[in-house]
Amino acid sequence: MEVLMVFLAIFLGTSLLFRMPVGFSIGLGGVTVFLLYNYSLTSMAQSAFYGTNNFSLLAIPFFLFAGAVMEYSGISRGIFGFVDSFVGRVRANVGTVAIFACAAFGALTGSTQATIAAISKIVFPEMDKRGYEPAYQAALMAAAGFLGVLIPPSMTGIIYATASNISIADAWMATLLPGIIIAILYAIVNFVHRRKVEPKNTEPFVLSQYVKNIGVSTKNAIWALLMPIIIFGGIYGGIFTATEAGAISALYGLGYYVIRKRTMPDSVSGNVKDMMKFTISLTGIILFIMTTANIACKAIAFSGISTELVTWMTANIKSPVVFLLIVNLLFFICGMFIDSNAAILLFVPLLTPIADAYGINQVQLAGIILVNLCVGAISPPFCINVFVTTKLKNVQFTEVVHYIWPFMGCCIAVLLLMSFVPGLSTWLPGLLR
């Protein structure tokens, strides 16, 4: 336990107090433990290398590149129109469309901040016309921005799978159903907030026109919508692996970008060089964090803390549900203060053997941890999504936080449900095996 406390003191002290980049603070903590306790430096070097010597990690640059291509291709308006054709008649429809458009667009890009930026450009002007409060707009988009991380594919799912030795497909599907439920609850919150302000839609419902609108919007968004179908159809059809799916999605996205640039040049931005720079820089950051986190994990493993934790928790905590509630609290806090990838790499290897001792399904644990880390992005005081949207709308942080609580309540309710009902995380992965 002493080793873990020394590492956490150095890691949290340097990252929070001195604002050192998380990869460096993790590495400093890990190296300090190795030197302080005279652990083998050869083992430190080996863990740094072999931790990233994993074929599955090739999926990271591929999916990042595919996401960058989709972001630069200007598909956000097509996605928005597609969602609007289904729920556009609902009262408070702009907010509802924004929620589901974030889920759909984020599933293509895998980036929370890119999703917020792209969808906000479309919905904020329309929300202004409808009289949405600026602070509420910022809160809604901050909350909806992470939905795309829960709707696969996602980078955090790949990293979690690497850290826990479950399949990438299982890590992805563990959050799909919870993500859909959270989106529906968000839509209810938005409806309740706006129902007395916005009038009912008095236009008569014409089924033929409704179907026609869906058909037109689907046609406009078809190439973007085909990408996740190809990925998951290929994976679960046994045609290719998740890593190979990343390469195929990158090629598909590049082809889409080239065609769109030639046919509608005004609708795209940037160039392939910009996409490559984005992909290389973010891949480098992720792999550096993984390298330093593996050093830290090896140091903690040498201390025997994993065995001690399993023994202590199983002796003092008899209920698996109580253990899951502790996991919820731990990662809820981690999501507020620590980079999601770092939190996964540091704590998941410690918790998976404990979950096994309690007989908890590893896919259920994956779903709970991944959702918690997303919720941390909207949880005060260090809620990165809220900081992004306050800048976009030029509103005060405290004003946005006032509106964020109902959305956080939806997330907490789903997390509690996931803790008591394993099927929310395990049903879809089990069904698709």
Cα torsion angle, 106, 107, 109, 111, sign: positive
- pLDDT of 260 above 90: no
- pLDDT of 306 above 70: no
Of the candidates 410, 378, 421, the residue with the CA atom closest to the CA atom of residue 180:
410
Angle between helices 305-316 and 272-303 (to 10 degrees): 70
How does residue 259 score in pLDDT terms, banded at 50, 70 and 90? confident
Residues 163 and 167: their CA atoms lie apart, in Å, by 10
- pLDDT of 91 above 70: no
* ∠ Cα 87 389 175 (to 5°): 60
How does residue 405 score in pLDDT terms, banded at 50, 70 and 90? very high
Q: What is the pTM of this model?
A: 0.85
**Average pLDDT of the residues in 158-173:** 89
What are the b/e assignments for 82-110, b being 16+ CB within 10 Å? bbbbbebebbbbbbbbbbbbbbbbbbbbb
Q: Which residue has the higher pLDDT, 229 or 51?
A: 229
Q: What was the pLDDT predicted at 182? A: 96
Query: Considering only 22-36, 138-152, 262-276, 352-366, which range has the smallest mean pLDDT?
Result: 262-276
Residues 136 and 123: their CA atoms lie apart, in Å, by 13
Residues 136 and 189: their CA atoms lie apart, in Å, by 12
The amino acid at 224: A
- For 179, residues 6+ apart whose C-beta sits below 8 A from its C-beta are 103, 147, 150, 151, 371
- pLDDT of 169 above 80: yes
**Average pLDDT of the residues in 230-237:** 80
What does the pLDDT look like over 122-132, one tens digit per residue? 888 888 888 88
Q: How many CA atoms lie within 13 A of 257 on its CB side?
A: 23
* ∠ Cα 58 59 63 (to 5°): 130
The two tokens of residue 120 are 């906000």
Residues 293 and 9: their CA atoms lie apart, in Å, by 15
- pLDDT of 307 above 80: no
Residue with tokens 């054709």: 85
- pLDDT of 356 above 80: yes
Q: What was the pLDDT predicted at 110? A: 66
Mind giving me the DSSP string for 70-133?
HHHTT-HHHHHHHHHHHHTTSTTHHHHHHHHHHHHHHHHH--HHHHHHHHHHHHHHHHHHHT--
State CA 196 to chain mean position distance.
33
- pLDDT of 417 above 70: yes
Tell me which DSSP letter residue 421 carries: -
**Is the separation of the CB atoms in 375 and 144 below 8 Å?**
no
**Average pLDDT of the residues in 353-363:** 91
**Average pLDDT of the residues in 393-410:** 91
How does residue 118 score in pLDDT terms, banded at 50, 70 and 90? confident
What does the pLDDT look like over 176-222, one tens digit per residue? 999 999 999 999 999 998 887 776 666 777 788 888 888 888 888 88
Mean pLDDT across the chain = 84
Percent of the chain with pLDDT over 70: 96
Q: What was the pLDDT predicted at 1? A: 64
Q: What was the pLDDT predicted at 368? A: 95
